[in-house]
């Protein structure tokens, strides 16, 4: 049985930061997609988990150009991580 991977604090911090940025981008995209209406006219709608999952799945590229076109934030990758992938 293999041991689970032990990530450093720095690696966990980078992953958390990337996740926060991803969530912010998703929220910004969702806000941009909705028509502007007065706040009083928009009741809080319950979030359907199936719709949320489908939205997430639709945001994942399915063609080679989309997958390889993703911009990697190299500033987040430290030397320890680079060494693991050599």
Write the pLDDT tens digit of every residue in 31-77.
776 665 555 556 666 778 888 888 888 888 888 888 788 777 777 77
Which region among 2-6, 8-12, 38-42, 45-49 has the lowest average model confidence (pLDDT)? Answer: 38-42
Structural domain spans, the chain: 9-33+46-84
**Predicted TM-score of the model (pTM):** 0.36
Whether 11 and 81 have beta carbons less than 8 Å apart is answered as yes
Contacts 24+ apart (CB under 8 A), 79-82: 80/8, 80/10, 80/11, 81/11
**DSSP symbols for 62-84:** -SHHHHHTSPP-GGG--HHHHHH
């Amino acid at each position: 049985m293999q041991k689970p991977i032990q990530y450093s604090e720095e690696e966990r911090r980078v992953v958390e930061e990337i996740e926060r940025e991803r969530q912010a981008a998703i929220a910004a995209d969702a806000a941009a997609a909705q028509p502007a209406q007065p706040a009083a006219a928009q009741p809080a709608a319950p979030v359907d988990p199936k719709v949320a999952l489908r939205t997430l799945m639709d945001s994942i590229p399915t063609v080679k150009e989309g997958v390889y076109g993703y911009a990697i934030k190299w500033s987040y990758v430290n030397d320890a991580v680079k060494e693991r992938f050599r």
